[in-house]
Amino acid sequence: MIQEKSRGTLPGILTLLALIAIMALLVWILVAQIRAREPLFAILTIVAMVADLLCFAGLFVVHPNQGVVVQLFGKYTGTVRDPGLHWVNPFTSRKAISLRVRNFETGRLKVNDHDGNPIEIAAVVVWKVIDTAEAAFEVDHYEDYVHVQSEAALRNLATAYPYDSHDETITSLRGHTTIVASHLQKEIQERLAKAGVEVLEARISHLAYAPEIAAVMLQRQQASAIIAARQKIVEGAVGMVEMALDMLAKSNIVNLDDERRAAMVSNLLVVLCGERATQPVVNAGTLYQ
């Protein structure tokens, strides 16, 4: 695996001034040789001027948050990251790679979740290049590689979790966004490590059931929510009835036999679990009337 290394350069401003000065000197010499009618020296001066012009090709600019990968006859010689004007061997080839933070949103993918339900999902991925050599030489078109691998990781994530779950112990795509985002970032990073890319953040930007089952799944969600709510109501009602019976027994306010206790439990559960307000009935007789 090719890893990034620093590349030394000559100061661009000083080199540019030196090349301009050399060119001016050669022009003055050439004019003097032409006047002196010395063709051989004039030809040598012209060759020197061509060589000087060729040296201008070694000048290049590095912008902030940019790395320039330098190759000499196909061999990687290093990366220049310092902003400014630089000069290297004019026979080298140079490729600029942005080190800025970039982001993109994947397309809306249609996949099946852990329960087999078709869903639509999309994600936003924030990334940047941290190793220019790996980005340039380990993969072909690293930007396309980032996009394709991110979508592949998102598909794999969607199949690992259900869309929704009323059980808090079960991780779902809709109910545990932080855990899901952390898993997505980790999986994308594992796929992009060989491309010299660091994933800064990855989060789901769109999540919905597929249109063909959206209406049915909405009814299912409503039914599941009602069942879950009823379960909580029943649990709370049973606890309140138990507390009421314990307090009556401890305070010795009234002694109830099994039949009266069962009747009281039934009445309390009806009052606590009913959807509508109950109508009170005053018993003017005894408990057994």
Last residue of a domain, one of 62, 96, 130: 96
Write out the two tokens for 196: 């010299």
> Looking at the whole model, is its pTM more than 0.85?
no
Structural domain contains residue 278: no
Structural domain contains residue 284: no
73 and 111: one domain? no
24 and 39: one domain? yes
Write out the two tokens for 207: 């999540």
- pLDDT score, position 35: 80
- pLDDT score, position 282: 52
251 and 154: one domain? no
89 and 114: one domain? no
Residue pLDDT tens, the chain, 289 long: 788 899 988 999 999 999 999 999 988 988 888 787 777 878 888 889 999 999 999 999 999 999 999 999 989 999 999 999 999 999 999 999 999 999 999 989 999 888 888 889 999 999 999 999 999 999 999 999 999 999 999 999 999 998 887 677 788 888 888 999 999 999 999 999 889 999 999 999 999 888 776 566 666 667 667 667 777 777 777 777 777 777 767 776 666 666 666 766 676 666 666 666 555 665 555 555 5
- pLDDT score, position 98: 94
Last residue of a domain, one of 189, 209, 229: 209
58 and 155: one domain? no
- pLDDT score, position 123: 95
User: Whole-angstrom Cα distance, residue 257 to residue 261?
Assistant: 6
Structural domain contains residue 179: yes
Structural domain contains residue 110: yes
Structural domain contains residue 288: no
Last residue of a domain, one of 80, 96, 112: 96
174 and 82: one domain? no
Our count of domains for the chain comes to 3
- pLDDT score, position 211: 76
- pLDDT score, position 163: 85
138 and 114: one domain? yes
Q: What's the CATH code of the domain at 116?
A: 3.30.479.30
User: Whole-angstrom Cα distance, residue 196 to residue 3?
Assistant: 9
156 and 121: one domain? yes
Structural domain contains residue 138: yes
84 and 122: one domain? no
119 and 201: one domain? yes
- pLDDT score, position 30: 85
Q: What is the 3-state secondary structure (H, E, C) of 12-73?
A: HHHHHHHHHHHHHHHHHHHHHHHHCCCHHHHHHHHHHHHHHHHHHHHEEEECCCEEEEEEEC
Domain residues for the domain of 175 are 102-209
Look at residues 98, 101, 104, 106 and name the one whose alpha carbon lies nearest to residue 135: 98
Structural domain contains residue 55: yes
79 and 129: one domain? no
Structural domain contains residue 280: no
220 and 200: one domain? no
